[in-house]
Amino acid sequence: VCVERSVLLLQKPRLGVDSGAHSCELTGPVKLNDLVSVTQVNSICSVQGTVIGVDESTAFSWPTCDMCGNERLEQSPGDRDTFSCGDCSRVVTSPLLRRHLQVFLDCPSRPQCTVKVKLSQTSISSL
């Protein structure tokens, strides 16, 4: 499964099936199906459009360790800007901010619909 040019999941071969060379290796680009009227909700597909709004009710952000990426930082007592990381045991003074953001798209291929899309961290950063 591929989204935004990133491989999310490779299917593993079934036990007892000899499929030749490494069946989990991609032999070329993965093409996603376009968004159509029968596309199931929460499926991965290809969509193009213009952002017309942000779902502010579901938007949030959280700090992560800038060294190991741990998302469960503890705020240091007495200093709201400093965190401690339980995974790498260090004081985090410059945490990386991760975000959850869903946007509404106006898609030329679906003129009567508004499409809601959950963005990846890479897409959020590029906005």
CA distance 124 to 53: 14
Backbone angles phi, psi at 46, to 5 degrees: -95, 135
Those residues whose C-beta lies under 8 Å from the C-beta of residue 39, and which sit 6 or more positions away, are: 33, 45
> What is the Cα 61 distance to its own chain's centre?
13
Model pLDDT for residues 31-78, shown as the tens digit of each residue: 888 888 888 888 888 888 999 999 999 999 999 999 999 998 998 888
Contact 65, 88 (CB under 8 A): yes
Summary mean pLDDT of the chain: 81
pLDDT band at 7 (very low <50, low <70, confident <90, very high): very low
What is the mean predicted confidence (pLDDT) over 8-18?
50
